[in-house]
Every structure is written in structure tokens, then in C-alpha cells.
């Protein structure tokens, strides 16, 4: 059996957060969705569990961070092209997100933008040139050094 990842996020408005992730391309898994949680699948092995703050609190004794005031996690989704990055961000804005809370990153071989969801979690949308990705971190470091 292949491994899966479940990213659990506390949300203030479950239906609004679900609509936001659907705008980014996630699909709801109704078998694990109710009025306190929504399982949103990004692919067969990657899922985002949107949990009401009350439900999220059942899984941790720690206080829930306010994602609008501090960074708790950065989530990054790959994209097929530069144009797809921009289109994804615009769909997210249409679903209640805020575009570019972090500066755009354009290094030629890598292009990224970010969007804050309605609860303030930052989602990075990133494209990388296939040849640069094959070369790895060295290609990215060179591109950044050239751009700066």
C-alpha cells in the first residue's frame, strides 16, 4: 500500500474553505465529510482535512494558531505552467482568497505565486521548468543568483 498524506487545517467556515479548495482543484471525498470536517483530495495520495476549530481541538491540546497573524505552515501545490499558476491564483481569489500575500517569485526556470485562503493559510502555487527540476537545487540556486 502506498503512503498518503493528510494535511489537517482548522477553519472558521467549513463551506467557504471547501469552496476555496475546490477552486484550487481539490475534489471532496463525501465518505469523510460531515458538518465538522471535509476531506478534500488533491490526488490519490494527498488530502486536506478541513476541520472546524472545535473538531480540530479534539486532536491537539495546543492552542490553534491564528494563520492571519503568524506562519504555521506553508503549503505548496505544483502547477503545469506559468499560465496555470496565474489561473489557479485567480480561481482562488474568486473563491474568497487573497492573492500574493508573499511576493511573486519569477526566476525564469521557476515561477510561483501565493494565495491566502479565507482562514489565512498560505498556499504557494509553483511551476518549475522540467530541465531545471531534473538538475535539482543547483539550477534553482543559479536562477535565483542571476535574478537578484
pLDDT at 79 exceeding the cut of 90: yes
Does residue 66 form part of some domain? no
Quick one: pLDDT at residue 146? 84
Does residue 68 form part of some domain? no
Which triple of cell numbers denotes residue 26? 481539490
Which domain range does residue 134 map to?
Answer: 73-148
Q: Looking at the structure, tell me whether residues 104 and 140 fall in a common domain.
A: yes
Does residue 65 form part of some domain? no
Q: Looking at the structure, tell me whether residues 80 and 104 fall in a common domain.
A: yes
Does residue 39 form part of some domain? yes
Distance CA 120, CA 72 (A): 10
3-state SS, residue 47: strand
pLDDT at 1 exceeding the cut of 80: no
Q: Looking at the structure, tell me whether residues 56 and 109 fall in a common domain.
A: no
In SS3 terms, 69-132 reads as CCCCCEEEEECCCHHHHHHHHHHHHHCCCEECCCCCEECCCEEEEEEECCCCCEEEEEEECHHH
pTM of the model: 0.86
Confidence class for position 55, pLDDT limits 50, 70, 90: very high
Amino acid at each position: 500500500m502506498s503512503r498518503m498524506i493528510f494535511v489537517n487545517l482548522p477553519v472558521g467556515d467549513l463551506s467557504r474553505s471547501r469552496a476555496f479548495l475546490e477552486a484550487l482543484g481539490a475534489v471532496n471525498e463525501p465518505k469523510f465529510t460531515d458538518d465538522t470536517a471535509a476531506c478534500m483530495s488533491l490526488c490519490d495520495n494527498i488530502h486536506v482535512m478541513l476541520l472546524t476549530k472545535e473538531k480540530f481541538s479534539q486532536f491537539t491540546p495546543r492552542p490553534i494558531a491564528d494563520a492571519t497573524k503568524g506562519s504555521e505552515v506553508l503549503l505548496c501545490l505544483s502547477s503545469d505552467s506559468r499560465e496555470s499558476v496565474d489561473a489557479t491564483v485567480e480561481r482562488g481569489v474568486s473563491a474568497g482568497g487573497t492573492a500574493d500575500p508573499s511576493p511573486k517569485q519569477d526566476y525564469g526556470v521557476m515561477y510561483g505565486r501565493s494565495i491566502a485562503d479565507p482562514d489565512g493559510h498560505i498556499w504557494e502555487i509553483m511551476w518549475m521548468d522540467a530541465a531545471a527540476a531534473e538538475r535539482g537545487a543547483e539550477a534553482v540556486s543559479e536562477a535565483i543568483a542571476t535574478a537578484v
